[in-house]
Every structure is written in C-alpha cells, then in structure tokens.
Amino acid sequence: MAEPRWLDEREMRAWSGFLAASALVNRRLDQQLKDDAGLSHPQYEILVRLAAAPGRELRMTELANGLINSKSGLTYQVTQMEKAGLVRRRSCPSDVRGVFAVLTDAGSAKLEEAAPGHVATVREVLVDVLTPAQLDALADGLGEVGRRLRGQGA
C-alpha cells in the first residue's frame, strides 16, 4: 500500500465538504435541540424511532441497530430518558432477556414539542440550502453509502 490512489481535486472537495458539513450540522442540531427542548440528538432519534414503531415500542437491540450509539450507549440513554419520564421499560413476555423501550405520553408530547424547531433547523442548515438536484444526489449517493456500511458492519 505504498502508492495509493490519492484523491484528486474533485474528490477532495467532496470529501472535505462532507466531513465539515457532517461535523458542523451535527453540532448545530445538538445545540438547537438542547436549547430548545432539553434533548440530546441521540435522545431525539430514539423518540422519533419509537413514535414510528408499531405499538410505540421497540426492542433495545432494534433501537441500537442503525443508531448512532453502541449497545451500552443506548442502555445509558434509555435510563436517562426513563428518569425523565419520556420512555418506559417493559420486559418481553416471550423472552425473559428481552426489553422493550416504550414511548410514554410525556415522551410523545416532548417529541411534538421539539419537532417543529428541529425540522426548521434541518431546513435552515441543510435542506433549504440545497437544490432539488443536489437533494436527489445526496439521497441516492449517501443512501448507497449507508447501505454498504450497514451491510459490512452487520
């Protein structure tokens, strides 16, 4: 691996743009959610996933997959959110080891409270900045990137 194919200028622009945008957008969203609703970004993601799930509940492992956090990180966050009353744990009837995270009414309310500001920020920092063509390129290109990494990682 002494002579790798370095990145040409086009590739470099795309790569550093992606890297910078990734860091900056994440930081901005974290800050906005914390200021606006007292939620961290991982916590918001958990609320969203639970709200979209059938019965408003998901197994811990399902929640950890495809999420930013590791398994232990999820355990921590769910514990915090349980203290805050946003979610509740329910043990799985068919598998004693299994644990469901269940969205509470308070959690649902918190999500509805936080969502508008969150969406507005997403528009402001990303969606409304891009042209429709760029949106499609992002969706197609980064969609494939994500798919490959999920495939490998699993």
Q: Which residues bind a second copy (CB under 8 A)?
A: 1-2, 4-7, 10-11, 13-15, 17-18, 20-26, 28, 66, 68, 115-117, 119-120, 122-123, 125-127, 129-146, 148-150, 153
* Residue 76 contact among a second copy, DNA, none, beta carbon within 5 to 8 Å by kind: DNA
* Residue 71 contact among DNA, a second copy, none, beta carbon within 5 to 8 Å by kind: DNA
Task: By CB under 7 A, name the binding residues for DNA.
Answer: 27, 31, 40, 42, 59-61, 64, 68-80, 89, 92, 94-100
Q: In this structure, what token pair is assigned to residue 152? A: 């490998």
* Residue 99 contact among a second copy, DNA, none, beta carbon within 5 to 8 Å by kind: DNA
Own/partner contacts of 122-129, CB < 8 Å, gap of 24 or more, are 122/29, 125/24, 125/25, 125/28, 125/29, 126/21, 126/25
* Residue 5 contact among a second copy, DNA, none, beta carbon within 5 to 8 Å by kind: a second copy
For a second copy, the closer CB: 42 or 107 = 42
For a second copy, the closer CB: 61 or 91 = 61
